[in-house]
Amino acid sequence: MKIKFSFKISSIIIASLVSQIYLSDAMAQSYNNPVIGTPQKVDREVPDPHVLKWNGEYYLYTSGDPITAYHSTDLVNWQPLGAVLSSSSNAKAWNQSDVWAPEVIYRNGKFYMYYTASKKSDDWRVGEMARRVGVAVSNSPKGPFIDSGKPVSQGWAIDGNVFKDPDGGKEYLFYSYLHEPKLPGASIVMDPMKSWNSVTGNLTTVSRGNQAWEDKDGDENNGSLRYTNEAPTVIKHHKLYYMIYSGGSWDLPSYSLAYAVTDKIKQDGLEGPGWKKVSPPILRSTPIVDGPGHNSIVKAPNNVDDINVFHARTVPFIDPWNRLPFVDRIYWNHDSIF
């Protein structure tokens, strides 16, 4: 199976951070990256952007407490909608702290936000091990979203992505999973969903960190190999399934986007061992863009092109907390053989 998959990233590599999105087959709109915020003065970062296209318009959701949303008609000009979900002040709630990585899907008349949260604790280790993926529900993509009251994942989990297989309609929750709490670093697993707020618990490992650039410490010789794969986004293009993911540590220049691919569908659904990583990363730091990662994929206004929405920092404004949203078109090469 020969596969070539590429992003047109010249617009963020060369000089001006200027690119184009096709509003229709005949009209293109030029724009500057990042599309939200000013790199020179980041009052509030806009990390982990997820974009939902609904009725021809776009809704962008971003990490933070509260989780906030933005609205656009063209993926370029965004208006803030304000807070759509906050952590809970209930001492018994699962989602008291560290609210991040929202992803919203539409299902049966409602909008479901899958997001990461944790319990609040004075001991960071307790909070770390309490991370889960849960779900909140709204009647509108503008929110507000109301938490369901319990986690969806059955153990440590962050960065949930719900993928509905177009062949048969079965849903899967992909997320980053800590296999061994004593060994830092995380892999990506897949769990079939039983309902909108529950999974089977039958995990399949899709991807584990095993490459130098995925080292969370950023130094492959330091003896502490914290290989991390996180933030999965799964799509199907023709006959193949693609999982785009982020590797390494979000606050380092080595943080990058890569992907794994499979064409194997088993009786019980997508089969993890069939996934093959493709190297090198498809999007990584450049002299003017730092730490690209945590993306989502959405159709352009022309309903043809696939658009990659991801966060990055603009050099020289590379404070770790200066993450802002970038958008760029994905180009599929030789897709007739996929």
pLDDT digits (tens, 9 = 90+) for 143-169: 999 999 999 999 999 999 999 999 889
| CA 105 vs CA 28, 141, 238, 287, 289: distances in Å | 28, 9, 21, 35, 30
pLDDT, position 124: 82
> Mean pLDDT for the chain?
86
Q: Where are the domains of the chain?
A: 5-337
More confident residue, 13 or 66: 66
What band does 216 get if pLDDT is binned at 50, 70 and 90? confident
Note whether 306 and 299 are within 8 A (CB).
Answer: yes
pLDDT, position 262: 87
pLDDT digits (tens, 9 = 90+) for 123-137: 888 888 899 999 999
**What pTM does this model have?**
0.90
Tokens of 84: 């759509």
**Could you write out the three-class secondary structure of 185-236?**
CEEEEEEEEEECCEECCCCEEEECCCCHHHECCCCCCCCCCCEEEEEEEEEE
Q: What phi-psi label fits residue 275: left (phi over 0), alpha (psi between -120 and 50 degrees) or beta?
A: beta
pLDDT, position 178: 87
State the DSSP string of 52-120. EEETTEEEEEE-SSSEEEEEESSSSS-EEEEEEE-----TT-S-SEEEEEEEEEEETTEEEEEEEEE--
Q: Please determine, for residue 221, whether its predicted confidence score (pLDDT) is greater than 80.
A: no
5-337: CATH, from 1.10.1030.10, 2.115.10.20, 3.40.720.10, 1.20.1740.10: 2.115.10.20
The whole-number average pLDDT for the span 64-86 is 98
What band does 28 get if pLDDT is binned at 50, 70 and 90? low
Note whether 63 and 99 are within 8 A (CB).
Answer: yes
